[in-house]
Structure 1
Amino acid sequence: MGKVLLAWLPAPMLDQIIRRGLRTYTSRTISSPETLRNHLALVRQRGYAIDDGEHEELIRCAAAPVFDHTGQVVAALSIASVGVDVESARFEEYIGLVQSCTHSISQALGHGRAAASVGGTDARRDLPSR
């Protein structure tokens, strides 16, 4: 969930967080600032994040952003599973379910209705497709 929240932060705020240092939790943790920035760009592009043992060994998570009426990310929703128990096809299904939930929550918060009349490129961003 953290990568989703980081992916939509304004660049100066993200820079400040990265300057504090990236803590390593497992051998899969992204600990390079450049790698993290590239990964966060991918998260924004596809509209969700995956944590495949990056914080806890064997735990797989999928998370997607929740947008408010201005197009800003105000929350994220995630699902976690024990990685060895979930096959890839099933995990892809979980990602779709998480995105469906965040899409519904975002709509309930007014995302998409007022976005066209609010200035700024972030406010005009549509929800990522599944």
Structure 2
Amino acid sequence: MGSWDDSTRVMQLRMRLSSALKVWCTQLPYETRSNWKPLVHVFKTEWCRPVGSKEERYYGMEMRDPETPRMFLYRLNKATKSAGIRFEKTVSEREAHIRRFIHALSDNRLKTTLQGQGFENMVKLKKELEAD
């Protein structure tokens, strides 16, 4: 027996989806919903939780393409709370969190600007991001 071709895989996946997910699937662009690789990529991104601990997810976070630096900071802050990292309480945790944020930025100009500054608290970092 051979393996399934891509159109059969798409059909099998769509047959197994709940009615809500079938509606979601019909709203995807035709090229995405009719081709296996793009469909499975979008499905995994939207519906599958990442494997690993909350700490691993925090340390592995990267800035997404459509995301602004401030949006990424808020998402990173939320991940610290989920992981039980208390960056507001200790100076060392806050500094490590800010370094982690700066390291993960995709904007090299902003990254260079922020690396040279010391932030006493998260409010000052947020104000710097608002000004940029």
Instruction: Tell me if TM exceeds 0.5.
Output: no
Computing the radius of gyration over CA atoms, which structure comes out larger, 1 or 2? 2
Q: Which has the higher helix share?
A: 2
Question: Normalising by structure 2, what TM-score?
Answer: 0.24
TM-score under structure 1 normalisation?
0.24
Report 1 or 2 for greater relative contact order, CA contacts < 8 Å, sequence distance ≥ 6: 1
